Structure 1
Amino acid sequence: MAKKQKKKQPITARAQPTDAKFKHSRVETARLIRKFHVLNKELAKCKADPQLLKREQEILKEMEAMGGLDWYQKASQLGQSKSRGGDSSKWLIQTLKSHCNELVDLCNKPVKVLDIGAVAPDNYKPYNAWITAKPIDLNPQDPAIQKQDFLQMKPPSNDDKFDIVCLSLVINFVGDPKDRGQMLKHTRDFFTLPSVTGRLHHLFLVVPLPCVNNSRYMTHEHLLKMMGSIGYTRCIHHHFSNKLAYYLFELTGLPNTKHVEWKKKILQDGGGRNNFAVVME
């Protein structure tokens, strides 16, 4: 008689100490990342409503049982390994070479990159002859990555500002749509003024493809209009892979460019759509 298979428990039902051995299974890491995103979005809603304090504590405990932010970062780091397709910086480099080669050549100094949410410190190391990168993250997995909350990060002096700001799979991790909008606007403060010649003013943005092709509150066209309203009037190039949406924007307006409010509004309804949204006030 065949043995009866033991029913599997959901990952969130399996309490795991944070010092437990991290599992390198493709399925396990993907499940962990998806669940952590869902919980993080719900957590943002709870923090905005004092009546949901009890649920907020339950979510925090559930995240801790999963291994917390540390395990999420380990899963993300594994997800960008060469064996799983590599990191998104490759697309940026290819796009710069094919669409911005003349601009890169005009730079009188190496191109300075602020890599926000970096899961590895050496993504741009193969290109260090013409790129210098500063990797930052909330919970660094490597001592070479600076621990920093970008929303709380003060803009540097003009001499220390950047040519390219990277938000690769970052804003989708932020739970509050208003914080996502604030993060996108905050990127403008890290460039030299667009009137300064010989420098780039580019934002590299990557989000999961369903954020722009299967959301009730966001579409590709809506994102382009929103970005244009805050000064990113030119989308140099975009690309949709099977799972990700890649964008390279150029800042053409001043960092204090005024813009209309972008509220959470249903753009396309129907079953099976997600609730990804960006709000700007």
Structure 2
Amino acid sequence: MPKARKKKVPVTSDGRDIVSPSSNPQTTRAVIRRFHVLLKKQGQLEHNPATTSNEAELKKINEELASMGGLAVYQRMSSIGQGSDRGGGSESVLIKWLVNMGFSKRDSMSKLRLLEVGALKPDNYASCSSWIDATPIDLRSRHPAIREQNFLMMEASENWEKWDVLSLSLVVNFVPEPRDRGRMLCVAHNFLRESGLLFLVLPLPCVENSRYLTLEHLGSLMTAIGFREVEKKWKQGGKMAYWLYRKVERDLHSDFSPFRKRCICRQGSSRNNFVILLQDQ
């Protein structure tokens, strides 16, 4: 009887903890939630004054992150969540909105320049290649076609008002520091051309169950930055929330003060602490 052929590991894999697409959905979500908790604690400790206890706690967190496989495993888990058997990726929502707005009728000479931040797959917009010129980036690339790049470290002069569409799908909630989340939205505004579009995706509990953020508060924050809501999609009790914003001229006298510090919007011990904070202009 011939030997069974050993399944090959993709050349883009680092070979650790290969996650099967059939992984249990509950397990996948639990791992992702644990990553979020650890990264938040890591960010807080790294920004606090160095003490013996802080250093010991930070070492413990780093060891647990390493034992879980690091960012590579988080990315693989998130990629599984984008599979067709789990509802597909968020890009399908954006594509539908863009089609409805008539952008699919553009010719190859006037393609939409789309920057996809936090891309887990290189071909999310391949079906729209005739009218979308997509540039996928991520902190740690899992494919040669995904550029390894920290969005907040991108050269401002090279990207100022360069992009027609910018996608931040499940990216802002993964940033540990609340002020870096706000800075990411402000950078997105700077990088978009006049009337450019921002696609924002967050887990719905980030705004529906936060003690520091509500849908109305998020809307006011986006208006202060210089965005006007064009589309939105979520359902009560759902897991995800999607928004499409259009860049508008920012009021230079816009008051950022309501968004510079945490303000309790909801009471209750079951609330989470997700918040987006802005810095002075």
Same fold (TM over 0.5): yes
- Could you list the per-position Cα deviations for residues 161-203 of structure 1 after superposition, in whole angstroms to 9, with x for gaps in the alignment? 11011000001001110110111111122122x2xxxxx5111
Alpha-carbon shift at residue 97 of structure 1 (Å): 2.3
**SS of the counterpart of 2:245?**
strand
Distance 1:188 1:237 in 2: 17
Q: Separation in 2 of the partners of 1:112 and 1:91? A: 17
Q: Partner of 1:56 in structure 2?
A: 58
**Structure 2 Cα separation of the partners of residues 110 and 82 of structure 1:** 27
Q: Deviations over 1:184-243 (max 9, x none)?
A: 111122122x2xxxxx511100000001100001111000100000111x1001111421
Q: Alpha-carbon deviations, 1:33-53, whole Å to 9, x = none?
A: 111011111111111112322
Q: Could you say what secondary structure the match of 2:127 adopts?
A: helix
1:275 equivalent among 267, 270, 273:
273
Report the CA distance shift for 1:225/1:57 in structure 2 as closer, same or farther (over 3 A).
same
Runs of 4+ in 1 over 4 A off after TM superposition: 102-108, 254-259
Q: Distance in 2 between matches of 1:188 and 1:257?
A: 16
Gaps of 5+ in 2: 1-13
Q: Which amino acid aligns with 2:221?
A: M
Structure 1 unmatched runs, 5+: 1-16, 195-199
CA contact (8 A) 1:104 1:111 kept: no
In the alignment of these two chains, the number of paired residues is 257
- Match 1:221 to one of 194, 216, 220: 216
Mapped to 1, the partners of 2:37 and 2:159 lie a distance apart of 38
Equivalent position of 2:6 in the other structure: none
Q: Which residue of 2 aligns with 1:72?
A: 74
Q: For residue 251 of structure 1, what is the aligned residue in structure 2?
A: 247
Q: Structure 1 length normalisation: TM-score?
A: 0.85
Mapped partners of 2:44, 2:184: distance in 1: 18
Identify if the C-alpha distance between structure 1 residues 225 and 22 changes in structure 2 by more than 3 Å, giving closer, same or farther: same
TM-superposed CA distance for 1:257, in Å, is: 7.4
Deviations 1:86-141 (A, max 9, x none): 1001001111222x227975997101100000000101000111111000000111
Correspondence for 1:189: 190
Query: What pairs with 1:1-281 in structure 2 (closer than 5 Å)?
Result: 19-24=16-21, 25-26=23-24, 27-49=26-48, 50-51=50-51, 52-98=54-100, 100-101=101-102, 109-155=110-156, 157=158, 161-192=162-193, 194=194, 200-232=195-227, 234-241=228-235, 242-254=238-250, 258-261=254-257, 262=259, 263-281=261-279
* 2:9 aligned partner: none
Q: Deviations over 1:150-171 (max 9, x none)?
A: 0111135479811011000001
Counterpart CA distance in 1 for 2:274 and 2:43 is 13
- The 1:160–1:273 alpha-carbon spacing in structure 2 relative to 1, beyond 3 Å, is closer
**CA contact 2:233–2:242 (8 Å) conserved in 1:** yes
User: CA distance change for structure 1 residues 250 and 103 in 2, over 3 Å: closer, same or farther?
Assistant: farther
Structure 1, residues 42-90: CA drift from partner, whole Å, max 9, x if none? 1111111123222111111000011111100111111101111110010
Amino acid at match of 2:206: C
The answer to whether the 8 A contact 1:230-1:259 is kept is: no
2:76 maps to a residue whose letter is K
- Alignment-mate amino acid for residue 32 of structure 1: V
Q: Could you tell which deviates more after superposition, 153-162 or 247-256?
A: 153-162
